[in-house]
Structure 1
Amino acid sequence: MPASAAPPNPSLDTPPPTLSTRPFPRRVRRLLEGVLEFASDEIERALNITLNDVEQQLFKLAEQARSNDVQQRCFEALRAVKRGRADVTPRYMIGLEAALAGIKDPPEPEKNAAVGITRFGELALVEDVELDEAAVLDEIAGRAEIRNSLPLYLLCQRFGVLAGRPAFEAERLPVGPHALCRILQQAIACLELNSEHRMLVFRQFDRQLMPVYGAFVEALNTFLIREGVLPRLTYVPVRPRPPRAEPVVANEAETAAPRLPRSGAPDADRTPAMRRRADSGLRPHTAWPGETTWSPPSAPAPDSDSDSGEANEMFAILRQLLAGRRQLAGKFGQPGGTPARSGPAFVASQEDVESVLGLLQQKPASAVLVDGKPAPRSVHHVKQDLLAQLRQWAPEGAAPTLADEDADTIDLVGMLFDHIMKDVRPNSPAAVLLAKLQVPLLRVALRDKGFFTRQRHPARQMLNAIAESGAYWVGEDEAERGTVEKMRMLVDRVVTEFNGDPTLFEALLQDLSGHLQTSVHKAEIAERRHVEAARGKERLALARMRASEAIGARVKGKKLPRFVHTLLTQAWADVLALTALRQGEDSELFARQLAIADRLVRATSAPAGSEDALSADEAAQMRQEIEQALTQVGYHGEDAAAIAARMVSGSDEGGDRGGGEDAASRTELALRMKARTRLGEELEAQKRKAKTTPLDEEGKACLEQIKHLPFGTWFEFMSNQQGDRVRRRLSWYSTITGHALFVNHRGQRVGEYTLEWLAQAMAAQQVRIVPAEKGTIIDRAWSAILGALRSFSGNAGDERGGSQS
């Protein structure tokens, strides 16, 4: 077997379990046999094509090889594949049946797909070849899991029923992508390929099986449904429970509080300390974009079309407030006042308005010119176009105008869109989508005044879904294309299909909700991987710190040879750290390695000829143990032997010259150790690179606030000098290492900062915590509109009172 070939699978040394040898109930065994039969057909076909492609690729690589050695290796691999391919498929099916037969076995510690070490529960130094294979297989399986998350979720639930246990995780599902990749790695071990050519097999397997894996999972779900295993199971997104009462808007004071300064001074005049104290009492925002607050259209709602009397009453109140605003604006000669009419007027009926809006709905929502510059189209421009079209229907000499109720409705919808657009970037795709929704929602509001008062009105929920999703998902340069395209498709359907039936919004809203929940699930999967890796780094840093403390306590105050001191504090500290990670500090091996350090300190610090000197037998045994331990932390055999000889000899100049010492002098060995990356050294490098100045009082207060934040808190980072901000999610932080992990809205790692740096940035107002706001974006917009209208109404009353006196 080549030196880099995959090691034999230990599980094949004993007969693997089969479905016939396990005490399954008759029905469960029959279902598992059906799954195995179907999977065997699909996988056998994919394996045959994979091996054919591998042979072709090896032959092509051999022809293109630039050296005889590379060509020879390719031909050897080609012969190995031809010679052993007949064994690959049977070995794969044996592994697949063993995985299905073990569904009732207790979960084993999660193993890495390629190297057989614990993925995140422990850490260990392994060969680069093994790590590369682990990364490739994890990438293949993770990509398939994300693409097919919903059918995999349902299949995991059904396999949980077969096993009589809770639902499986995708990583442990016997026919999941992770299991299929693990079985492939074990099956091709018989080919005895080197790492490069095993990678070729993995890539070809990915190209052949994974594109059809979604249909494979759907077929398995269909088979189990037909056999009566959770036949009515469907995926329903989990949403928060709707509120009991249905006011016109959410609690106005609480909704607007996060946006308004608590003092009378403008927010720009408030000191950072004032802002921090005001923000510290707010609950941070932790939900993913897409975890919206709307309820499913099928949920029973207390408000219905029979409540039109209450809706009309609330709409009348809104009209009164709007009239007060218009009256006050007219007194001061400001825009928005009551227009003066001269000459005959043509008041358009609601049917005429509906007909014209139907025509405008089919026209593209193009931008308009404002002061010679293109600007987004607003409801005010739609109103102008509406009056221009009505002019063609008006009698000669009569100016078209709208009924007061229709005009107020259009003005209120216009105010709503104006407030929503404040939270959406002007040039983002969301702004275009909202512009397209203006005319259809005007038609909805003109027909049903419940649009203004009912939080669960389907059209209002649809608008809220687009506004919130657009504000967060498509507001960044790295916006997810699938979400953008999905929203664009749904909005286009509204524009082309809406003809007064609000049930269209219900169907489209449910479609969008399912897509966003899928996106959230993908982001959570991606985030979980990064968090687990970060926690592994934390355990590594903690083990490294404790190992250094243990060695430091033993060499402190001892007169050791300089080289031995260096070897103990570096090489042997790495050995202790790795042992602490893999077996714990209370293990026998960790105690033995500490005893070796104690013995070396006594032997090398004692005068020549003393009784603490190592005997020949003790030195030989210790040297063997040291050499073996050093190879486990990544030292090459020659260097490990030389270091072991130095440590046992206790001399800066001499040592046993038989263990590779002739090939590596003391100076050369020291240089190699200095150039070598130590275990966890990259963490120290990151910490040194991110070194900050000492925190002031404000920075210390921010640091304490950060340490009490829940995982998942969203932050806003200033992205440029113009003050634009980008949102990042604090997925995890460690008070031990002082590092914080941030991801974007797709769950991808975008930065890792120290807590001190983050606190300094918060104190400098370059970073801020995003507070959780009550209600939806529509509720907050109505709260602001209602507050503004009431303020105008109060001022108007003061003016009237003053004139009467």
Structure 2
Amino acid sequence: MKTDAKVVHLSKVASAQSPTSPVGRLPVALIQVRDKAAQQLKQALQALFDNADDTLFEMADRATSNSEQNAFFEAMRDLRLKRKNIERGFLQKVFESFSSLNQYEVGTPPALDAVSFDSLSLVQNDELEETVALDAMVAKVMSRDSMAVGHLSTRLNALVSKKLDDRSNPLGPTALCEFFLEACSGLGVEIKVKLIIFKLFEKYVLGDLDQLYAEANQALAAAGVLPELKSAPVRRQTGRPAGSMQGEREAGGAPAAGDYDEQSVQEVFGALQQLLSQARGSVVPLRETPAGAQPISSHDLMRLLSYMQQRAPAQASDDFDLREQLGSLLSRASAKSGKARVVGEVDEDVINLVAMLFEFILDDRTLPDSLKALIGRLQIPMLKVAVLDKTFFGRGSHPARRLLNEIASAALGWSEQDDAQRDSLYQKIEQVVQRLLNDFVDDPAIFSELLADFLAFTGDERRRSELLEQRTRDAEEGSARAELARRQVEQALNERLLGKTLPEVVVRLLQEAWSKVLLLTCLKHGVESAEWQAALATMDDLVWSVTPHEDPEARLRLLELVPGLLKALREGMASAAFDPFSTGEFFGQLEALHVQAFQRFKQPLVEVEAELDEEQRAALAEVGIDLPLLELPNEDEEPEAEALPMVAVVEEIVLQAPGQQRSTEPEVTLPDDDESLLQVDNLRVGSWVEFQEDDEHKLRCKLAAVIKPTGKYIFVNRTGMKVLEKTRMGLAVEFRRCAIRLLDDALLFDRALESVIGNLRRLKGT
């Protein structure tokens, strides 16, 4: 069905930018890449919507109930009506993302989603399904095109001021998926239908991104932007329908010719071989080839490794030596056949490299020991991948390498105290390891499959932990504001009470009740507000009203002050929801205090009373004071009022938060240039650390926030729950006694390879 909804004029989208938009400052080559990409994305979206009707109609035809069928028909109608807006919104986001590439964001804090304390539930199921689906789509694109995306990000960084990575690349799969998700936010369809639309987006839009990336890289290279980066050439296949992907590549099989720069990959492996040859006899065993020995083929080596894989020990240990085990198997095979058999030189180099990589992994202090044992069991599967595909060493996006890195990254926050049998992460890693040991023979596609599944799992966990972590930050920032407000209230109370002797009831009223009124006023309005000043004035009036005065002006002021004072006290305590029974008790004793004050004035007070008008008398009556106050009996008959107890305020008033105690950390002062303080200041939010609590217990946690008003450093575990808080000085003390260790969150395989290369180069230099 033809519809003008297909027509999205790119010129209109571009013109929507403001006249001062930085899009005009983009290099010409980048503008050409943007426009070409937008044209291809527009055509892909049109293909998506052209096929959406047929897909949804088929789903409706197969529906098992009338309600399900109606849901698909309603979705078809909704999609037709909103198609134009979705296309325009998606392309608008693409253009906006390019527009911001040359914008500096000075002083802008990272955007955090507001989290309401009224909605503390975890991510809703529908939202969770959406994000899991999008993560899987992104993982599939990255497992196929990560090299091209990386080259494009590198070239963009050479042209624009904003630093990009693969996630923030405006043409990267993550950004495109987010743009589409936002453009579809207005669709009133069930999650089941939305997931179908996402699959269509994956097929018709994401499916041809390899061509988009190749053309974008070629265009930028031709314009002189990092031409030395060798990207994959554009692959055009006859008979390939728009948006389709090769089954082999979808499955994550071995790369076809032209997918990668074979020469650069071989150079990496060749350089490693050269380093190995110079290290024989030290870290690498000397190659001993018996006379007449025949090298086994890589196919036979794979069979031997599969045999070892099925019989691998349940726990990796230092006693397990892959090379020794393989040599033992070869000796047995040689003895049985009567012919000496050895591993070929290239395969032996691969074995030595993988063995050295896993020696680093098993010695790595960043990995928890329990999970290290699990990861160590992947040595044989990784060796088989390396034998099959030498790009394993030179290609960072290799699915097997990425799987190993993702497992190690997820394991970073795992604590030995966690119950391994019940912990979902431990169980998931164990499933991945067991699946590889049981099912991996010689088809590396299993790594792409497991990678996508593991990314979906960790994405789910990450979203949950980020939500809880955000709540933790919000709670801590709220606590910090409350703590500052308590200090303001403490200061106000101590300025007015410290060093004075006042009736006990007044001191208790101000410390127990009016402090709450001041706290709420400070939090709600701030200390510069009129409300705060009014609350302080009420406190000052109360203190003045119970202080003895003799001058006539004070007598008149007391009569005028008491009605408004008591009214302000009642309203303030009611607003703070103070206990009504305690409020009544306080006011009963205040009334006695004020009556005593009036009685001290005696005759002059009677004269003042006579001068009061009817309105003033009514105001006094409202607060429980009836005139005349005094009948002026004879001095012999005048009853002595019982004096209420007095208290001298000699210690500073300290307010405690409910259920909390003040920090008991030792007050240590270190010079500003102390190395430990510099280590604390170099900590960044998101850093993982390990605290040595005692000889047996360690705590792994992540710095989630630095609360500047209170100077607190808040640490959370991998679920996002707060486990520790420290002051700057407290952390410096921990650094000084070497009780804190920073955990290296760099990619595990890359760290291992860097270590191996560094060791080999050092041996070469000696």
TM-score, shorter chain, exceeding 0.5: yes
**Structure 1 unaligned residues grouped into runs of 5+:** 1-40, 43-119, 123-133, 157-163, 176-216, 249-295, 330-334, 369-373, 660-664, 796-805
Q: Which residue of 2 aligns with 1:100?
A: none
Q: Report what 2:303 is aligned to.
A: 355
Q: 2:344 — aligned with what?
A: 403
Give distance in 2, aligned partners of 1:694 and 1:455.
Answer: 46
Contact 1:361 1:495 in 2 (8 A): yes
The partner residue of 2:538 within 596, 600, 611 is 596
Deviation at 1:317? Answer: 2.9
Match of 2:402 among 442, 461, 466: 461
Counterparts of 1:685-764 in structure 2 under 5 Å?
A: 685-687=661-663, 689-690=664-665, 692-697=666-671, 702-703=676-677, 706=680, 709-721=683-695, 725-764=698-737
Query: Which among 306, 313, 316 is matched to residue 270 of structure 2?
Result: 316
Against the structure 1 CA distance between its residues 323 and 747, is the aligned structure 2 distance closer, same or farther, given a 3 Å change threshold? Answer: same
Distance 1:323 1:456 in 2: 27
3-state SS, counterpart of residue 783 of structure 1 = helix
| Distance in structure 2 (CA, Å) of the matches to 1:585 and 1:154 | 47
- Work out whether residues 464 and 777 of structure 1, in 8 Å CA contact, stay in contact via their aligned partners in 2: yes
Paired residue for 1:778? 749
Distance 2:689 2:370 in 1: 23
Mark the CA change 1:390 to 1:697 in structure 2 (over 3 Å): closer, same or farther: farther
Instruction: Give the superposition deviation at 1:432.
Output: 3.8
Give runs of aligned pairs for residues 509-548 of structure 1, distance below 5 A.
509-548=451-490
> Relative to structure 1, is the Cα distance of residues 596 and 537 closer, same or farther in structure 2, using a 3 angstrom cutoff?
same
* Cα shift readout 1:714-734 (whole Å, capped 9, x = no counterpart): 332113326x75332222233
Alignment partner, residue 763 of structure 2: 792
- Distance, in Å, in 2 between the alignment partners of 1:707 and 1:666 is 58
Q: What does 1:89-108 correspond to in 2, within 5 Å?
A: none
AA aligned to 1:486 is K
Counterpart in 2 of 1:798?
none
Equivalents in 2 of 1:632, 1:711: separation in Å?
39
Deviation at 1:403, TM superposition (A): 1.8
| Aligned mates of 2:254, 2:593 — CA distance in 1 | 81
Report deviation, 1:788. 1.4
Corresponding residue of 1:59: none
Aligned to 1:117: none
Cα shift at 1:738: 3.5
Instruction: Give the AA of the match of 1:592.
Output: A
User: 3-state DSSP class of the match of 2:280?
Assistant: helix
In structure 2, relative to structure 1, the CA distance for the partners of 1:319 and 1:586 (3 Å cut) is: closer
CA contact (8 A) 1:698 1:763 kept: no
Q: Does the residue aligned with 1:145 lie in a helix, a strand or coil? A: coil
Q: Alpha carbons of 1:679 and 1:407: their partners in 2 closer, same or farther (altered >3 Å)?
A: closer
Equivalent AA in structure 1 for residue 716 of structure 2: V
Give the whole-Å Cα distance in 2 for the aligned partners of 1:647 and 1:706: 52
Residue 612 of structure 1 is matched in structure 2 by 554
Question: Out of 623, 627, 649, which is 2:570 matched to?
Answer: 627
- Of residues 114, 131, 151 in structure 1, which corresponds to 2:129? 151
Evaluate the alpha carbon distance shift between residue 666 and residue 529 of structure 1 in structure 2; reply closer, same or farther with a 3 A threshold: farther
- Give the 3 Å change call, closer, same or farther, for CA 783–476 of structure 1 in structure 2: farther
Q: Check conservation: 1:365, 1:435, Cα contact below 8 A.
A: no
Mapped to 2, the partners of 1:165 and 1:439 lie a distance apart of: 41
- Give me the whole-angstrom Cα distance separating, in 1, the residues matched to 2:198 and 2:262: 45
Return the structure number with greater relative CO, CA threshold 8 A, min gap 6.
1
After superposition, the Cα gap between the structure-2 partners of 1:738 and 1:341, relative to the gap in structure 1 and judged at 3 Å, is closer
* Matched residue, 2:494: 552
What is the identity, as a one-letter code, of the residue corresponding to 2:372?
A
Q: Give distance in 2, aligned partners of 1:511 and 1:383.
A: 32
The offset of 1:495, in angstroms, is 2.5
Deviations 1:254-299 (A, max 9, x none): xxxxxxxxxxxxxxxxxxxxxxxxxxxxxxxxxxxxxxxxxx9999
| Partner SS, residue 685 of structure 2 | coil
Q: 1:326 aligns with which of 280, 287, 291?
A: 280
Offset of residue 607 of structure 1: 1.3
1:378 CA drift (Å):
4.2
Q: CA deviation at 1:382?
A: 4.2
CA shift for structure 1 position 389? 5.3
Post-superposition Cα deviations, 1:599-618, rounded to whole Å, max 9, x if no partner, equal 22332234156433465574
Once residues 354 and 752 of structure 1 are traced to their aligned partners in structure 2, the CA distance between those partners, rounded to angstroms, is 52
- Equivalent residue runs for 1:75-224 within 5 Å: 142-145=120-123, 149-151=127-129, 220-223=190-193
**Deviation, structure 1 residue 345:** 3.2
> What residue number does 1:443 align with?
384
Distance 1:630 1:782 in 2: 67
> Secondary structure, in 3 states, of the residue corresponding to 1:750?
strand
**Larger CA deviation: 748-757 vs 417-426:** 417-426
Asked if the contact 1:622/1:648 (under 8 Å) is kept, the reply is no
Q: 1:581 — aligned with what?
A: 523
User: Which range moved further: 694-703 or 639-648?
Assistant: 694-703
345-354 or 701-710: which moved more? 701-710
Question: Which of 638, 652, 659 is 2:581 aligned to?
Answer: 638
Cα 1:512–1:443 shift into 2, 3 Å: same
Q: Structure 1 residues 366 and 497, CA, compared in 2 at 3 Å: closer, same or farther?
A: closer
The match for 2:426 among 466, 484, 492 is: 484
Whether the aligned pair in 2 keeps the contact of 1:560 and 1:605 (CA below 8 Å) is yes
Question: Relative to 1, partners in 2 of residues 1:299 and 1:679: Cα closer, same or farther, differing over 3 Å?
Answer: farther
Opposite residue 363 of structure 1, the aligned amino acid is R
Paired letter, 2:662: Q
Tell me the alpha carbon deviations over residues 662-707 of structure 1, each in whole angstroms, 9 at most, x when there is no partner: xxx999999xxx9x99563655x222x23x1332337966446645
User: Considering only aligned residues, what root-mean-square deviation do their CA atoms show, in Å?
Assistant: 5.0
| 1:561–1:652 CA contact under 8 A, matched in 2 | no
Q: Report the alpha carbon displacement of residue 576 of structure 1 after superposing the two structures with TM.
A: 0.9
Cα deviation digits, residues 181-233 of structure 1 (max 9, x gap) = xxxxxxxxxxxxxxxxxxxxxxxxxxxxxxxxxxxx9x82235678x899748
> Cα distance 1:777–1:443, how it changes in 2: closer, same or farther (>3 A)?
same
Shift of the 699–716 alpha-carbon distance from structure 1 to 2, 3 Å rule, reads: farther
1:470 CA drift (Å): 3.2
Q: Secondary structure at the match of 2:760?
A: helix
8 Å CA contact 1:712, 1:731 repeated in 2 = yes
**Partner of residue 417, structure 1:** 358
CA contact (8 A) 2:712 2:726 kept: yes
| Residue aligning to 1:766 | 739
- Take 1:527 and 1:577, find their aligned partners in 2: how far apart are those partners? 27
CA distance in 1, matches of 2:563, 2:510: 18
- Distance in 2 (alpha carbons) for counterparts of 1:310 and 1:381: 32
Q: Residues 300, 366 of structure 1: CA spacing in aligned structure 2 closer, same or farther, 3 A cutoff?
A: closer
1:409 positional shift: 1.4
Q: Cα distance 1:653–1:694, how it changes in 2: closer, same or farther (>3 A)?
A: farther
- Structure 1 CA distance for aligned equivalents of residues 274 and 133 of structure 2: 57
Question: What is aligned with 2:371?
Answer: 430
- Using the TM superposition, give the Cα deviation of residue 652 of structure 1 relative to its aligned residue in structure 2, in angstroms: 12
Question: Is the aligned partner of 1:387 residue 2:341?
Answer: no
On the 8 A contact 1:424/1:470 being kept in 2, the answer is no
CA contact (8 A) 2:548 2:597 kept: no
8 A Cα contact 1:525 1:747, kept in partner: yes
Amino acid in structure 2 at the alignment position of 1:737? T
Q: Structure 2, unaligned stretches of length 5 or more?
A: 1-66, 69-112, 135-178, 207-212, 218-224, 231-249, 600-622, 626-641
Normalized against structure 1, the TM-score is what? Answer: 0.56
Change beyond 3 A, Cα 1:759–1:426: closer
Give the aligned length: 530
Identity %: 24
Query: In 1, are the aligned partners of 2:707 and 2:714 still within 8 Å (CA)?
Result: no
